Structure 1
Amino acid sequence: MYIKGIKFLSKIVLSLVAILLTTSIGFNTGADATTKDDALNTVVNFLSAQKDCDVDSMVKYSEHAQKITNLKEFYSNFCKENPLQKATITKLSIINDTTAIASIESNYKDRIFISTMPVIKKDGNWKIIRGMPGTDYVEKSDNAKRTIEEKEIEGAIKDYSADIKSGEINKMKSHLIISPETNKKLLDNHLEALSEEPTPELNTQEINIIDDSVAIVHLQTKFDSVSFANKIMVCKENGQWKIVIGHSLMNASIPITEKPIEIK
């Protein structure tokens, strides 16, 4: 029974690694310096504006994933009720010339937020995409009412799932955009191991189109007796939607008290 449980858990781990493999901490050093600096400066400028409650600058350097009508009023109320005390950019990954992913730790009076969100270039300006819901929030879309783009993304994920069964690493990788800092050999090993296990069912629960070439997908991975969910980024590259791996998306928080216990 114990061995069976270990084997089952290994299947889950392999599936997660194949989709979300992250092998380094820090900043992408292989990307074009200008692109990296511009994306990073946008995140820094937004967080500095948030700390100062400079609402105009917050709007300038961001967009909200939920398409809020009056973003300026929303930011103003949020800043007053939840002043940002400290923020740390823990990682920035450059995906391509117009897309990046930033991980941020934000400290408030009674809470710490850990969030990873897209940073995209639109109309010549970089913007951080705020308001990404966590994996526990799902607004399931009606498959019959999905747009052409949403159906293309759903099809791309199904094609990736089908090619896992083939065992051909290059076929599997043709559906992926791999962040430059990812350990390619380790990824190949995991993809090979994944193809040797029963393939999980990948279901797209929700698709949030950010712009013409970037979307966020709430993906459910189902095994025979268990399932789990995560949010992934997909980008359009040479007309094909691909899954971004090497920097996973998340949005979570933990409470803090006035006297936290620090372990040194």
Structure 2
Amino acid sequence: MTVDPGSIPPHALQRVIHTALEEDAPWGDVTSETLIPATATATATLGAREPGVLSGGAVFTAVMHAVDPAIQVDLRVADGTAFVPGDVLATVTGPARAVLRGERVALNLVQRMSGIATTTAQYVAAVAGTSARIVDTRKTTPGLRAIERYAVRCGGGHNHRTSLSDAVLAKDNHLAVLLASGIGLGTAIRAARARLGHTVHLEVEVDRIDQIEPVVAAGVDTIMLDNFTPDMLVEGIRVVGGRALVEASGGVSLDTVAAIAATGVDVISVGALTHSARALDLGLDMDVVDTAAAPTASD
């Protein structure tokens, strides 16, 4: 599977890269500028040290180009592609100082993104053969949501709402406020539906079987069954009766996701795709450093 890297909003990507480079070298790279000749050029290899799924090839390239447009990056593996230890994922050629300055930021991002893609691919494989769709949540690293959500897509997963501005999703704390205000859930949902535009998705989270009928009857697009056991999910789906999409959330892990999917739910939201994914072990190793044009110590 390959994924279009252009699906990362350019303004979001540039913001991430600018912030990361400014954080890592606010006044330049004093080590490289002190030790490395200005004329030195380098060729480096981005290699896999463990198996995984690549995400962030275009991000890696964009970081290097932001440091110095003269850097050339040759991507050998497309985003969404599985790899094994020893695979060459990309080669980098350019001014040695610039490659060294971009190295850590570029690696941090591609390792993080590939870790998310790899984790997502494991969840997707676990529910293969069912109708369940694996989706992410808003439990992303602040400032990195756009690239982390892209990484989920690289792993074969799907995205939930991008932000609080995208859809109505009433969860337990919203319901607690309504209850304390003396407003019935069904009344609140019908009033919300009347105010919303016809394209705005309306979802409500419940944590008990007896909450399902009033919510569905009020007219929601999706009902989220939170922390339901597989048996409870089966019963919940029966009560919904096809009147809304059914999303399962809470208590989802690689050990439980197959059983959840087998109940027939439409969507399984997994916060662990982004909040618990481990950065993948990738390395950028210098293969050739050419300093022939640089002055020697005796000059």
**Global fold match (TM > 0.5):** no
Higher helix share: 2
Q: Which has the higher strand share?
A: 1
Normalising to structure 1: TM-score of the pair?
0.24
Q: What is the TM-score with the length of structure 2 in the denominator?
A: 0.22
